Amino acid sequence: MNTRQLGQSGLEVSAIGLGCMGLSHGYGPATDRPQAVALIRAAFDRGVTFFDTAEVYGPYVNEDVVGEALAPFRDQVVIATKFGFTFGDDGKQQILNSRPDHIRQTVNGMLKRLKTDVIDLLYQHRVDPDVPIEDVAGTVKALIAEGKVKHFGLSEAGEQTIRRAHAVQPVTAVQSEYSMWWREPEDKILPTLEELGIGFVPFSPLGKGFLTGAIDSNATFGNDDFRSVVPRFTSEALEANQALVNVLGEISRGKGATSAQIALAWLLAQKPWIVPIPGTTKLHRLDENLGAAAVELSASDLQLIAQALASVAIHGDRYPAALQARVGR
């Protein structure tokens, strides 16, 4: 597995990371713990050194699983996690909270769950409109000085928030959704990151599974699957968006690769400081995803893909309204 640097920070990670959320949260029942630990360790064995989690995944459970899985080779990997919420009495309601005292309390819990004495990359999970970003960045700056954190990141933040945070504590990476069917970051976020020397970590690089070609308009999702409330995953939207999957399938057949591999290779080709973090619960999908690092897209390939994508209109919002209100601040 080749490596990449996240911006100008000097933080070197595998070109493709592993998003660990789905092992515990968001896409149906949690994976059995031994199986989840085995999958994370299999990723390491295959060259992955960048692992992504968050306190909200579970909550707390995913960090604990990641900590157990990576403990034997902790000094050889980069662990990223995220703060920014408190939880209702049921443990499910997510309440934005980036107050400095809460960040500190959260980090202490993270260190225990991750079985480590330092967090490699600490993101604010969502911007809290009630706490100035300067206070958030200043708190993380102090945690870095204390040796509890190495690098600072933001997730789904807007351009001005990124600039304000970066002025207080250099931002190593911004994490946001980015894929062939969600390209909004190309407008303002990617140019801002390039200007400031910040890396970019796309989550849901396979469109929450849609770009693999394994989901069609007949797909159904349980109540414990986040996609059940996503407008882009209604049967009508899935049917309309099938045109993108068809195009992707044609391109992948021409390259002797899978649709998922082309979608990931396309992301890698956008900028040398982009590191996607596809998630999976299946070993064969892990192998497929990591194989994308070996897929080379030429300038002519990318031009053909750009023309194909321009001909496809995407239907449906990527988030329900309540969640959409939390992004891009």
Nearest to 81 by CA among 99, 49, 107, 104: 107
Q: What per-residue confidence (pLDDT) applies to 90? A: 76
Q: What per-residue confidence (pLDDT) applies to 88? A: 84
pLDDT in tens, 117-176: 999 999 999 999 999 999 999 999 999 999 999 999 999 999 999 999 999 999 999 999
pLDDT in tens, 179-227: 999 999 999 999 999 999 999 999 999 999 999 999 998 999 998 999 9
- The residue whose two tokens read 């990476």 is 173
Q: What per-residue confidence (pLDDT) applies to 93? A: 87
Element (H, E) at 162: helix 159-168
- Is 57 one of the catalytic residues? yes
CB atoms within 10 A of CB 236: 11
- N-to-C CA span, the chain: 34
pLDDT in tens, 289-327: 999 999 999 999 999 899 989 998 999 999 999 889 899
Catalytic residue among 27, 57, 123, 178: 57
pTM score, whole prediction: 0.97
Mean pLDDT of the chain: 96
The mean per-residue pLDDT over the stretch 72-91 comes to: 93
How do the domains of the chain map onto residue ranges? Answer: 3-208+270-294
Q: What per-residue confidence (pLDDT) applies to 19? A: 98
CATH superfamily, with its number, for domain 3-208+270-294: NADP-dependent oxidoreductase domain (3.20.20.100)
pLDDT in tens, 220-259: 999 899 999 999 999 999 999 999 999 999 999 999 999 9
- Judge residue 47's burial from the number of C-beta atoms within 10 Å of its C-beta, 0-12 exposed, 13-18 middle, 19 or more buried: middle
**Rg, C-alpha atoms of the chain:** 19
